[in-house]
Structure 1
Amino acid sequence: MSNNAKLKSLFRSGRTTIAMGAYDPLSARLVERAGYDLVYLGGYAAAAAMLGLPDLGMMTATEVADHIRRVRAVTTVPILVDADNGHGSALNTARTIAEFLAAGASGVHMEDQVLPKKCGHMGGKRLVPVRDMISKIRAAREAGGEEFALIARTDAIAIDGTDAAIERAARYAEAGADALFLDAPESMAHVEQIGRDLGPLGVPLVFNAASTGKTPTLAVKEIEALGFNVILYPIEAMLAALAGARLVMDTLKVEGSLEGIRDRMASFADMQDLLGVAKMEALDERFPTS
């Protein structure tokens, strides 16, 4: 089974799929090694890791495609990618999906914001008309094919309210979305309403479990019980890595030694193992050069 078919199968299975966020090829290796079914490449993490910039729509589609290729080269599981708003019109969206598919993505989520887009948990977002988003969904489906997983995201909760967001999402499901993602519900009442009103459609629902956002923090079992079965953890690994790097730098500057925190750092052997050094050395021995 291809990775694209695997991802679609996960969505249809009815069981919970955790989309653990990676921000570079090394962290993607960690995600796969930890036993997750897919690697998630979110826009916030990608912009931070690749550009050192906030998630404000400044990455180009080709930059993201290059990011996908590097991750695809070191992982074997499906890759789910944040496609922002398709990077433009329906025509741009068709090219974006074709580029992401060629780079190794097995699916995307795509939102109904205008350019310049913003992270879903930031203020000041603006929406495209529903008909424009439907055109993008149809263009994405044609470009990606039936096996390519297409999640339609709406940011309407923050702008027009939960009822309007649910209405938009239902229209996106009719247009051919494989799953629905209503970002940034700000209360348990909103979360419960999404599961209650959209559950009867029989389309998988996506929950953004980002620990830094506006949505209530819930455990996996609680999220499942509310009717969601695709759960994103977009930047949690990156936040942990940031804290760890800061600890090393601050400790060395203050104490002049890292001996007090060695047990909180990975070993060089761990890194060598994760990078597959032994496999590369064996390959080098098979094909010696003078």
Structure 2
Amino acid sequence: MPDTASLSTETTATPGAKLRGLLSKGGLQVMPCCYDALSARMIAQAGFPLTFMSGFAVSAARLGAPDTGLISYAEMLDQGRNITAAVSIPVIGDADTGYGNALNVKRTVKGYAAAGFAAAMIEDQVAPKRCGHTRGKEVVDRDSALDRIKAAVDAREEARALGQDLLILARTDARHGHGLAEAIARAQGFAELGADILFVEAPRDPAEMETVCREVPGWKMANLVEGGDTPLLSPPELEALGFSIAAYPLTLLSAAMRALRDALAAMASGQHPTGLLMDFSELRERVGFDAYYAEEARYAGARERD
């Protein structure tokens, strides 16, 4: 028989508590990243225990625009509400720079908590920010970066007082222009302020990744971008180094875009892209038609009994 007490606790746990419990188990969590409710739903259907709303991918999917600070807080929050409503697994939300000063950071973190995110990621780039694996990014000075995380941590505590629990994922992009030592110093400062998860973006080789894991305390995230600056180590290698989360921010977007491109090319040449398509019955099931019809029948049955 199932442990009903454990099932009840898992069902009623806040998103933050679910994520905290997952990371507390130790080991590495492989985290495909989503960009809309359907991609998040498919990640959950595949059995992954968490996901991340990628700012790069959301900007591409929602605006058809690059991740260069064009998408707004309101647009990201709206996308996030749809994503968190579609799944029961914890969702980490890309909150960019917090969309302004320390008070904007607090508003952003509280908004993400209310939207059902398990964590919010705040970074130290100059606004407008850029994808961490593209050129032209700059960071604010260290004191300003620390102020952002202090505001985020304060907002986390204020949200908890309202029953809204989420974690703070603190990111630094200082490796690009200021070197690894500065990036590590910032991450250490973020940890001292109470950030829950630390993320040093774009280390260049396994030795740098090992240094990050050795010198930065707590839970650490690796960001694996195909064609990016960080080597694509295997999950066992990442776990051995000491990472807790392996994020794949663009893998699903890239796969979807390639499938779209190939299907369109086939149609443009007068062919039907049959070999690229999901069976219609599976398509309906994954979108939720089968569950909808089952629930519809349940209520229709109740009317008949009445």
**Which bracket does the TM-score occupy, shorter chain normalised?**
over 0.9
* Alignment match, 1:193: 211
Counterpart-to-counterpart distance in 2, 1:195 and 1:287 = 53
Counterpart-to-counterpart distance in 1, 2:268 and 2:177 = 45
Q: Given that residues 141 and 148 in structure 1 are in contact (C-alpha distance below 8 angstroms), is that contact kept between their aligned partners in structure 2?
A: no
1:115 and 2:130 are equivalent in the alignment: no
> Which amino acid in structure 2 is aligned with residue 61 of structure 1?
Y
Q: Given that residues 62 and 99 in structure 1 are in contact (C-alpha distance below 8 angstroms), is that contact kept between their aligned partners in structure 2?
A: no
**Structure 1 SS opposite 2:227:** coil
**Structure 1 SS opposite 2:194:** coil
* Alignment match, 2:7: none
Match for 1:234 among 237, 242, 249? Answer: 249
**Structure 2 SS opposite 1:73:** helix
Counterpart-to-counterpart distance in 2, 1:279 and 1:13 = 32
- Which range moves more in the overlay, 185-194 or 87-96? 185-194
* Alignment match, 1:219: 234
What is the root-mean-square deviation in Å for CA atoms of aligned residues?
1.7
TM-superposed CA distance for 1:220, in Å, is 0.7
1:155 and 2:173 are equivalent in the alignment: yes
1:85-164 correspondence to structure 2 within 5 Å: 85-145=97-157, 147-164=165-182
TM-superposed CA distance for 1:271, in Å, is 1.1
What runs of 5+ residues in structure 2 fail to find an aligned partner? 1-12
Q: Given that residues 285 and 291 in structure 2 are in contact (C-alpha distance below 8 angstroms), is that contact kept between their aligned partners in structure 1?
A: no
**Structure 2 SS opposite 1:152:** strand
Q: Given that residues 15 and 90 in structure 2 are in contact (C-alpha distance below 8 angstroms), is that contact kept between their aligned partners in structure 1?
A: yes
Counterpart-to-counterpart distance in 1, 2:175 and 2:146 = 18
What runs of 5+ residues in structure 1 fail to find an aligned partner? none
Match for 1:257 among 261, 271, 275? Answer: 271
* Alignment match, 1:166: 184
Runs of 4 or more, structure 1, over 3 Å off, are 282-289
* Alignment match, 2:15: 3
% same residue: 35
Q: Deviations over 1:46-94 (max 9, x none)?
A: 1001100000111111111100111122111111011111111110011
> Which amino acid in structure 1 is aligned with residue 293 of structure 2?
E
Match for 1:17 among 29, 34, 55? Answer: 29
Counterpart-to-counterpart distance in 2, 1:234 and 1:163 = 25
TM-superposed CA distance for 1:284, in Å, is 3.5
Q: Given that residues 12 and 204 in structure 1 are in contact (C-alpha distance below 8 angstroms), is that contact kept between their aligned partners in structure 2?
A: no
**Structure 2 SS opposite 1:184:** coil
Match for 1:204 among 209, 219, 241? Answer: 219
TM-superposed CA distance for 1:128, in Å, is 1.5
> Which amino acid in structure 2 is aligned with residue 75 of structure 1?
V
> Which amino acid in structure 2 is aligned with residue 149 of structure 1?
L
> Which amino acid in structure 2 is aligned with residue 107 of structure 1?
A
Counterpart-to-counterpart distance in 2, 1:271 and 1:8 = 33
TM-superposed CA distance for 1:194, in Å, is 1.2
Counterpart-to-counterpart distance in 1, 2:295 and 2:286 = 16
Counterpart-to-counterpart distance in 2, 1:163 and 1:138 = 21
Counterpart-to-counterpart distance in 2, 1:54 and 1:271 = 29
**Structure 2 SS opposite 1:205:** strand
TM-superposed CA distance for 1:144, in Å, is 2.5
**Structure 2 SS opposite 1:19:** strand
Counterpart-to-counterpart distance in 1, 2:22 and 2:143 = 29
> Which amino acid in structure 2 is aligned with residue 38 of structure 1?
L
Q: Deviations over 1:132-190 (max 9, x none)?
A: 22222222222223641111100010011001111111111001111110101122222
* Alignment match, 2:94: 82
TM-superposed CA distance for 1:41, in Å, is 0.4
Counterpart-to-counterpart distance in 1, 2:20 and 2:227 = 28
Counterpart-to-counterpart distance in 2, 1:282 and 1:196 = 51
1:19-58 correspondence to structure 2 within 5 Å: 19-58=31-70
> Which amino acid in structure 1 is aligned with residue 130 of structure 2?
K
Counterpart-to-counterpart distance in 2, 1:77 and 1:209 = 21
TM-superposed CA distance for 1:23, in Å, is 1.2
- Which range moves more in the overlay, 139-148 or 236-245? 139-148
Counterpart-to-counterpart distance in 1, 2:191 and 2:73 = 24
> Which amino acid in structure 2 is aligned with residue 235 of structure 1?
L
Q: Given that residues 263 and 276 in structure 2 are in contact (C-alpha distance below 8 angstroms), is that contact kept between their aligned partners in structure 1?
A: no
Give the TM-score, by structure 2 length.
Answer: 0.88
Give the TM-score, by structure 1 length.
Answer: 0.93
Q: Given that residues 118 and 125 in structure 1 are in contact (C-alpha distance below 8 angstroms), is that contact kept between their aligned partners in structure 2?
A: yes
> Which amino acid in structure 1 is aligned with residue 271 of structure 2?
S
Counterpart-to-counterpart distance in 1, 2:90 and 2:207 = 33
Number of residue pairs aligned between Structure 1 and Structure 2: 283
